[in-house]
Amino acid sequence: MKRSLVAIALALACGAALAQTEASVQADREQLKKDEAQLRADQRQLRRDKAAGNAAAVAEDKEAIERDRAQIRATKQRLQTDIEKLKRAQKKEAESRKPLKPRPNPPG
């Protein structure tokens, strides 16, 4: 009886961890899309400022692009970490669903 309760508790905990990790991965993917969109917008602004001959704005645009690229790297790293956590959680959940081996009968 205790073993089955422990197995149920473990399965519930794994399921909760899995759901939370899946949500983190999805949030990271959405953030990456936003970061990439911001980079493209800053690159367009840089082209416009170069065409207008606005040297001060060009320097600011280049700094913004570097910040965007750093943000994208950080988001990709966080996404990769969350994907690895998700894989581990999926593995734990799969293991928790395996049936328990019956205890051997004592001799006698």
User: What pLDDT shows up at residue 1?
Assistant: 52
- Say what the pLDDT of residue 3 is: 55
Number of domains into which the chain is organized: 1
pLDDT tens, residue by residue, 16-49: 677 888 999 999 999 999 999 999 999 999 999 9
pLDDT mean over 6-19: 61
Q: How far apart are the first and last CA of the chain?
A: 23
- Least confident piece of the model among 12-26, 63-77, 86-100: 12-26
The verdict on residue 108 lying in a domain is no
Across the range 43-65, mean pLDDT stands at 97
The answer to the question of residue 76 being in a domain is yes
Total residue length of the chain: 108
Residue 33 lies in a domain: yes
Angle at 27 between CA 62 and CA 68, to 5 degrees: 5
- Whether residue 77 lies inside any domain: the answer is yes
For 7, the domain range is 2-96
Question: Does any domain span residue 107?
Answer: no
For 61, counting Cβ atoms within 10 Å of its Cβ (0-12 exposed, 13-18 middle, 19+ buried), the class is buried
Q: Is residue 106 part of a domain?
A: no
Give the mean pLDDT of 75-85: 95
User: Across the chain, what does the average pLDDT equal?
Assistant: 86
